[in-house]
Amino acid sequence: MRIGLGYDVHRLVKDRDLILGGVKIDHTLGLLGHSDADVLIHAIMDALLGASALGDIGKHFPDTDPKYKGISSIKLLEAVGKLLYDNGFTIGNIDSTIIAQKPKMAPHIQIMRENISNALNINIDQINIKATTEEKLGFTGEELGISSQAICLLL
């Protein structure tokens, strides 16, 4: 068994879509990044790559490579899932948290879980997503950015 931990954060800006867990969420601000800046998927990918000792998302999908400009993070997650499979790993479970003051995440969590389940070809009951605010404290509480944390177990 191996355990991995992932973390990601991106700044909120105007004129960008807010994509979390592969879901486009209606909001006045979106996340700034080279790809679609999906902090939830990025944290999950880093947890999976860390547990497998296969590096991190920067190693596999550098933000200096134009082929990843604007790419869906779900596509990157599919590639990570294949890399794990090719290296003999099986995902036990993934537990994650989105940290954002706004918007509310609860209406979107089931679809996020489905997207991750499909991308990794695992059962939806192996994926948990929670959301919390920081009670208007710090950069997430002041709505300057959104962050996410993830932990996983590989078998």
101 is in an annotated binding site: yes
130 is in an annotated binding site: no
Token duo for residue 73:
């993070």
28 is in an annotated binding site: no
66 is in an annotated binding site: no
106 is in an annotated binding site: yes
102 is in an annotated binding site: yes
55 is in an annotated binding site: no
Count Cα atoms within 13 angstroms, Cβ side, for 24: 4
98 is in an annotated binding site: no
Alpha-carbon 102 to chain mean position: 17
56 is in an annotated binding site: yes
46 is in an annotated binding site: no
53 is in an annotated binding site: no
15 is in an annotated binding site: no
105 is in an annotated binding site: yes
10 is in an annotated binding site: yes
14 is in an annotated binding site: no
* DSSP one-letter string for 21-76: TTEEE--S-EE-SSS---HHHHHHHHHHHHHTTS--HHHHS-TT-GGGTT--HHHH
114 is in an annotated binding site: no
Query: Could you tell me which residues are annotated as the binding site?
Result: 8-10, 34-35, 42, 56-58, 61-65, 100-106, 132-135, 139
Query: Could you tell me which residues are annotated as the binding site for a divalent metal cation?
Result: 8, 10, 42
